[in-house]
Amino acid sequence: MDRFSHATVSASRVAFSRLRRGAAFAAAFLLLAAGCAAARERPSGLGASGTFLAGVVANAGRDTSAAAEYFREALKADPGNAGLLDQAFLSELVDGNLPEAFRLAERAIQRDKSNALAHVALGVRALKARDYVRARRAFQRAGGDVREADLTIALLKAWAVVGTGDLPAALQMVDRFQDNELRGYRDFFGGLMAEIGRRPGEAEKRLAGAFKTESGIMRVTEAYARNLSRRNKIPEARETLRQWRERNPGQPFLGRELALLEKGEPLPPLVADVAQGAAEVFYGLGAVGSASRDPMTALIYMQLAHYLSPEDEVITMTLAEFFEQLRRNERAAALYERIPATSPLANRAVIGRATALERLERTDEAIGILRRLVAAHPEDAEAIDTLGSILRIKKRWPESIEAYDAGLKAIRHYEYKHWTLFFGRAIGYERTKQWAKAEPDFLAALDLLPKRPRTARERAERAQVLNYLGYSWVDQHMNIEKSFEMLREAVTLTPTDGAIVDSLGWAFYRLGRFDEAVRELERAVQLKAGDPTINDHLGDAYWKLGRQREARFKWSQALGLDPEPEDREKIQKKLETGLDEGPAAAVTPKANGG
């Protein structure tokens, strides 16, 4: 689940993309292997080479804790191996074991003084300890002898200089980067530094520039509004936050801050010290790493951000989501649990924890957590849908219907985001053979979705409902022509979704248009070869065209793809006796009262 929006990125994605391309230490993570997961064994008894290979496999499976443990043991067996030292250092860093990572970083630079990431790690440790002179020296070494240092390294050095009390020198470092695409990023961090250096006027000027360039970025908006509030400009600060919330409906952010401004209370700065300022650099890099589907590299940045600012709720939440993406559910659940109940992210954290627990097969615990959340927040659509979805996964259909029903009754006004609740309840009704109740819910979900979807997400959502309703009608021989229109629209919206293409092929089958059915079903099999239902459908279509050998082959394939028990029985019967339907002709549609 990708619930948490990274609207909090500190500057533009263009700027961060450039940052990540130029970061000298980012490439170091490419040493980590990628591939498929394997079973985890205890390191003892594997030997140095065996433990190393186990670490590589653990990395491939993105099991960060296992990888760190294996490489740690391999290094003990072969302490002079420089490659093992690098792997162990990186693995400890990714896993968040920063004390051990720092110890290994010290060893790494003794062997290779050009190890940029090791210098950065030691600079971060020095920043946290407020040893700003040592931090600056470490970041300087990370940047090497390049005359115009990488912006990431320059920002970290600048934060260390802020810590020494030399704000003008720090701002000069930041201002060396004059590219237009970096303007918002430069102004944002320059403004934060000016606030720490107690230059509120300079901070306002720079943050205003960042806001002008990047008003859609929540972190920029928040920093600017906070500064305005302390400059006796509370009405302007309030309006700044109000406009952001209007442009981002449904997001939990900035409501708490806006409420304080409504009372006339000024807000503290976004970052309170140098460590938090440097954390903001790493957080931004990590958030973009996640957006670019590079979670393992991004995890390095986020772990450093979390070390520097462990109480930052946004950083903790994002780190939890990274571990959720990596299917490290125990780590994700523990991090979600750290979000306080007073946080605007609290509900999402509870939902994330419940999802992680469900994946750990702690279903009853997950359901109990969600039931308590829904009881406290009966209109939270995401909580209701998550509870209903888990109950559906476990085929506890009556409980799922009950959860959705209670949620829908608690909501006073239905809007776009509530389509999932009608859709979820409709599935429960359909699976319990209550079609008279399911059909109106499917139609209600469709009515709440945009008729002309513009984003990929909106297209996928509309296609999902069109597909389920259209397929259900087709399968019951109801509204065949209308179903055909719906399914064609669904395929147009998501042309690479094999399940939806299958539904269109099945509609052709129900219409008796078997040549067209085969065409679509063959395409569906290419898109989703491992689906038993699609292979079964294609076998039926082949049989109708007299292609009996191909039909039996497809039914055999479907049988080997673990179909549902009731489908398995039907497929087995077809393999024995063939289709027992009548001649190849169109099915006469039934009248439909819906």
What is the domain-level CATH number for residue 505? 1.25.40.10
What is the average per-residue pLDDT within 419-434? 96
Question: For 478, phi and psi rounded to 5 degrees?
Answer: -115, 140
- Triad 371, 377, 383: Cα angle to 5°: 55
> Does any domain span residue 158?
no
> Does any domain span residue 497?
yes
On the CB side of 527, how many CA atoms lie within 13 Å of its CA? 18
Mean pLDDT check: name the lowest of 159-173, 246-260, 348-362, 441-455. 246-260
Q: Give the chain's domain count.
A: 1
Q: Which domain holds residue 493?
A: 449-594
Q: CA–CA distance from 183 to each of 15, 187, 215 (Å)?
A: 9, 6, 13
> Does any domain span residue 356?
no
Arithmetic mean of pLDDT over the chain: 85
> Does any domain span residue 507?
yes
What is the average per-residue pLDDT within 199-226? 93
> Does any domain span residue 361?
no
> Does any domain span residue 85?
no
Contact, 407 vs 386, CB < 8 A? no
Query: At residue 325, does pLDDT exceed 50?
Result: yes
CA 557, distance to chain mean position in Å, is 34
The predicted-structure confidence for 369-387, as pLDDT tens digits, reads as follows 999 999 999 999 999 999 9
> Does any domain span residue 582?
yes
The C-alpha R_g of the chain, in whole angstroms, comes to 28
d(CA 37, CA 56): 10
| pLDDT score recorded for residue 40 | 37
Task: Give this prediction's pTM.
Answer: 0.80
The predicted-structure confidence for 55-70, as pLDDT tens digits, reads as follows 676 666 667 777 677 6
d(CA 184, CA 456): 28
> Does any domain span residue 465?
yes
| pLDDT score recorded for residue 76 | 73
Long-range Cβ contacts of 15-20 (<8 Å, 24+ apart): 15/181, 15/182, 15/184, 15/185, 16/185, 16/284, 16/285, 16/287, 16/288, 17/288, 17/292, 18/151, 18/181, 18/182, 19/150, 19/151, 19/152, 19/185, 19/284, 19/285, 20/285, 20/288, 20/289, 20/292
